[in-house]
Amino acid sequence: MRKTTFPAVLATFVVCFLFWIVLDFSFKVEELVAGAVVSLAVALFSARFFIHEKAGWFFNPVKLFNLLFYWICIFPVELIKANVDMAKRCFTGCTNINPGIVKIPVDMKSDYGQAALANSITLTPGTMTLDIAEEDGQTYYYIHWIDVTATGKEAGDAIKGNLEKGLRRVWE
């Protein structure tokens, strides 16, 4: 079983406490203290499930800024492009589709990075991650794509393009 380390507990505690403040939204001392106690208890029990790698990146302002930049500037642009494309297909009778499952290589080592990239791909309409596989040290995603125009590496560039570039600035 994984060991509970101090940075992991600290990171989990900060997340839990921020969530408490957001949901409660009163700044009386008693409520803040109650929230801190509950968050600490939750962090002590669940930190080893919540943090799988070094927790240090959570307190690195450059990486947090890059993550925020990804969420505010890069991802919404891709999301709107894909949504407009999907809406066009739906309004014109759902006939001009060519679905298929392609396998694309991904250059991302970190577990968090892989999860974030897979979730971003699933959130974009038109592409959806089925599975992650690893062969000879190279990670592959299986992606259901509504309009297959390429396979292999070109398909990877068309699907993940900017998303992977943005995420690689946060996770290696």
Partner 1 sequence: MLIRIIADVLIFIGAIFATAGTIGVLKMPDTYSRMQASTCISTLGMLGAALGALLYAIFVMGSASTAIKVCVIALLIFVTNPVGAHAIVKGAYRHGIRPEKPMEVDDFRRDFDE
The residues that touch partner 1, with contacts defined as CB under 8 A, are 22-23, 25, 79-80, 83, 86-87, 89-91, 93-94, 97-103, 118-120, 122-131, 133, 142, 144, 146, 148, 151
| Distance in Å, CB of 126 to partner 1, minimum | 6
If we measure between CA atoms, which residue out of 149, 166, 171 comes closest to residue 158? Answer: 149
Instruction: Name the residue nearer to partner 1 (CB basis): 44 or 87.
Output: 87
Q: Tell the residue number behind the tokens 């596989």, with chain if given.
A: 133
Considering beta carbons, is residue 10 or 150 the nearer one to partner 1?
Answer: 150
The least distance separating partner 1 from the CB of residue 107, rounded to whole angstroms, comes to: 18
Residue 64 CB, shortest distance to partner 1, in Å, is: 15
Residue 110 or 120 with smaller CB distance to partner 1 = 120
Q: Nearest Cα to 86, choosing from 58, 39, 127, 40?
A: 127
Q: Give the contacts of 169 (CB within 8 A, at least 6 positions apart).
A: 63, 66, 70
* Residue whose CB is less far from partner 1, 66 or 78: 78
CB 143 within 8 A of CB 159: yes
Cβ pair 3, 48 in contact under 8 A: yes
